[in-house]
Structure formats: C-alpha cells, structure tokens
Copies of this chain bind each other. A is one copy, B any other.
Amino acid sequence: MERVASDYAAVRAQTVALAAPLSAEDSQVQSMADASPTKWHLAHTTWFFEEFVLQEFEPGFTPHDARWRFLFNSYYEAVGPRLARPSRGLMTRPSLDEVHDYRRAVDQRMAKLLASPLPDLARERVVLGLNHEQQHQELLLTDALHLLAQNPLQPTYQDDFENDAASTAGSSWRKFPGGLAPIGAAGEAFSFDNERPRHRVVLEPFALATRLVTQGDFAAFVDAGGYRESRWWLAEGWDWARREAITAPAYWSGEGAARRRFTLGGAQPVQAEAPLAHVSFFEADAYARFADARLPTEQEWEHAALTSAARLDRDAPALHELFGVVWQWTASPYVGYPGYRPAAGAIGEYNGKFMVNQMVLRGSSRFTPEGHSRATYRNFFPATARWQRTGLRLAREG
C-alpha cells in the first residue's frame, strides 16, 4: 500500500477513535458558537475529501447526498452558501449513525481511488485533507471539553485521560544572539500555505524561558490580584475581562488549596508544577508583564526551536516542552509572510482570509495528533480564545 493510502487509513481511523467515548447526545451539541459538534467534525472532514478529491478525481462521481454539501461546508464561500456556523448544533438529522455510514462510504471510495496511481494535484489534496482532519481532531477534543464543562455533573470523556504531566525541572533562560534568520517552510515536506514563502528577518538579541509557565506560576498571579490591576493588561483585554467577569483561566474553580480545573478526565486539583493551559492571549500577555517579561515573537520562537533542536550551542540550556504540551501564545499578530499568495479557488480560502485580529501560537499541544507538529507551524486564534489548550513561554530582551 502506498504511503498516502496508509496515512489516509490511519488518520481517518484516529478520528473515529477520538469520537468513540462520546454518545449520540454528546456528539450532537454545539456548546458555543466557536465550537462545533463532534458529529459535524466527523462529517465535515469527510465532506472535504468528497468535495475536493472525489468530485474532481473519481470517475463517474456522484455525491453521497447532494444536500449534505450545504450542511457540512464550513467557511468555503467559493463552494456556495453555507449553514450559519452557530446553527451546526441544530442539525439533528442526519444522525450520528448516518454520518458514520457516510464516513465508511467515502473511505471505501477513497481507498479505491488511492489504490491506483494518482495525479500530483490529487495526492496534494489528500495530504491537505489529512492535515485538515488532524486539525479537526484537536478541535474535536477541545470542543468536547467545552461541552462537558457546561454540565454540573462534571462528566468525563475518559477517566484516565491524562492532561498535564508535571515538568521535570525548573526554568532558566536561554539566550539567542539574534541576527538575520530564515523563517518559514521550504522544500517538499507538507506545510500549510501560511508557512510560506521562506524569508529572512532581523532578530535583536533575546532570551527564552526553557520551560512553560506553570499552573503554580499563574496561581500566584491570581492570588496577587492580577485580574484586578489594570496595569498588567492591554486596554482591550482589561475591558474584556471586566465584561466577561474573567477571574481565572478557563475551567478553573475554587480558591487556594481547593482550586480545581476541569479536564477531559474530570475535575482535578490544580497542579503547581504542571504547565498552565486554557488562558487567552490577554491573560498570557498580562502574566508576562507581571513577570517582568514579555511574550516571544513568532520569529523568535521559530528561530529558537530550530536552533535548540540543532544543538548548535551545546553549553546553552535546552528548551523543553516546545511541542506536545500546550500551544504557546506569541506577541505576533497573524499576517501573511512577505510575498504570501493564497492558493487558487476554494482551497485558497483555507488560511489567508483569517489574517486579521488573530494572534499566532507556536508549538503544539497534548491534544495535537502525532506527526502534526513542526517548528514552522502557525496556529492562530483571537486574543480572547481560551477553550484551546493554550499557555505560554516567557521571553525577554537578550
């Protein structure tokens, strides 16, 4: 079996596995406008392959159900009218079972297609679709967490679902001398269009913390009245926190020793040595100011990650927890790189149309699928988003 066929099978199976602990009821509900139902994630990722691969490359293509094109499109204006995003949770038909049938039917047709040699464009589309599906795997988990957190019964997604391992060592600073640095993806390996083109930037000397900010670090900020002092906050963040009555990270409750956080494994004690998650950019930025530091730019982060991995300077302390723990807010608004051009057609809507009023996050999280992390990856969310696994690493002038 060709690599792309086995990757297809593996990624698709993983989505189903992630959805397995969730009932038909769990899979139906949209707990806020920014989230999507599990059932929708299952269907939309399938729709992607039907719309952008089968429709163009399968001989004698007929749609599984022509009406579903409307239901499971997301933001691709070019494909046609879409269901309003907050209405996703209202579509109780098709049922979860019917959506699983849809997945199986499309998977069979894809398997047949992938069994023969593919044109390059088709292969690129499949790889894009798998990366797209991996993004939705992470969203499936964060959306499920948000949903279960609304329930006073504090139900679990999976009892032993481990969220936060404690860091094994204290934090120190690693210095970087700066200079002209290459930024962005190059070469043949898959990357999203927003990671290109590769280009050079000037970096001033800077330093990065070797560890992530911990839950204990942030609890000290809370206990010091950090949410009640405007001096730590951007003006818009301060207004947001007042308006929304934000006084702690998302999913935290209680005070002092009774402080708990809700996780996919249920309610857990706050763990002082474990990395902080579920803060907004505004909270991350306020904490950094409180700690007499700042957030790194995305270029500093990328340069440091590559340098550190390359072990260029064996005497410097290593950077830990770059990947696989929490997404790390940066000081960088999300814009196109110099010379950035979105792909043509509907696929081109994937990234470029969101390049305003969002902040870049780097790294990857506990919820990010295996193989979906890399140093050039650019995640992005609005400055108020907290339902993702988002934390921070401090930076300062070098």
Instruction: Identify the A interface with B (CB < 8 A).
Output: 23-29, 31, 39, 67, 70-71, 75, 77-78, 83, 87, 89-96, 147-148, 150-153, 155, 180, 199-202, 204, 230-231, 233-238, 281-282, 285, 297, 331-333, 335-336, 338-339, 349, 353-357, 359, 383, 397
Contacts and interface: CB of A to CB of B under 8 A. Distances in A.
A202 B204 contact: no
Contacts of A155: 92-93
A194 B91 CA distance: 38
Nearest to A355: B234
B356 A92 contact: no
User: What is the predominant secondary structure among interface residues of chain A facing chain B?
Assistant: mixed
Q: Report the 3 A-B pairs with minimum CB-CB distance, sorted nearest first.
A: A333-B333, A77-B230, A25-B92
Contact of A202 (B201, B281, B354): B201
Contacts of A383: 356-357
Given A150-B87, A151-B91, A354 B96 contact: no
Contact of A29 (B28, B236, B357): B28
A335 B296 CA distance: 12
22 contacts: A23-B93, A23-B95, A24-B28, A25-B27, A29-B29, A29-B89, A67-B153, A71-B152, A75-B235, A91-B150, A91-B151, A201-B202, A202-B202, A235-B353, A236-B354, A237-B356, A331-B336, A332-B335, A333-B335, A333-B356, A356-B359, A357-B357
A339 B152 contact: no
A230 B78 CA distance: 8
A359 B334 CA distance: 12
Counted per complex, copies of this chain come to 4
A120 B310 CA distance: 50
A234 B92 contact: no
B199 A151 contact: no
A202 B234 CA distance: 28
A198 to B, nearest CB: 12
A83 B152 contact: yes
Contacts of A25: 24-25, 27-28, 39, 92-93, 95-96
Contacts of A333: 333, 335, 356
A28 B339 contact: no
Nearest to A233: B353
B90 A29 contact: yes
Contacts of A91: 150-151, 153
A397 B234 CA distance: 34
The listed residue with most B CB atoms (<10 A of its CB), out of A23, A25, A236, is: A25
The listed residue with most B CB atoms (<10 A of its CB), out of A75, A92, A354, is: A92
A284 B152 CA distance: 36
Contact of A180 (B28, B95, B202, B331): B202
Contacts of A204: 199, 338-339
Contacts of A75: 235
A152 B354 CA distance: 27
Contacts of A234: 353-356
A262 to B, nearest CB: 14
Contacts of A27: 25
Nearest to A180: B202
Given A25-B95, A202-B202, 17 more contacts: A23-B92, A23-B93, A24-B28, A25-B93, A26-B93, A29-B89, A31-B90, A67-B152, A77-B231, A77-B238, A90-B147, A90-B151, A92-B147, A93-B151, A201-B201, A234-B354, A297-B338
A151 B92 contact: yes
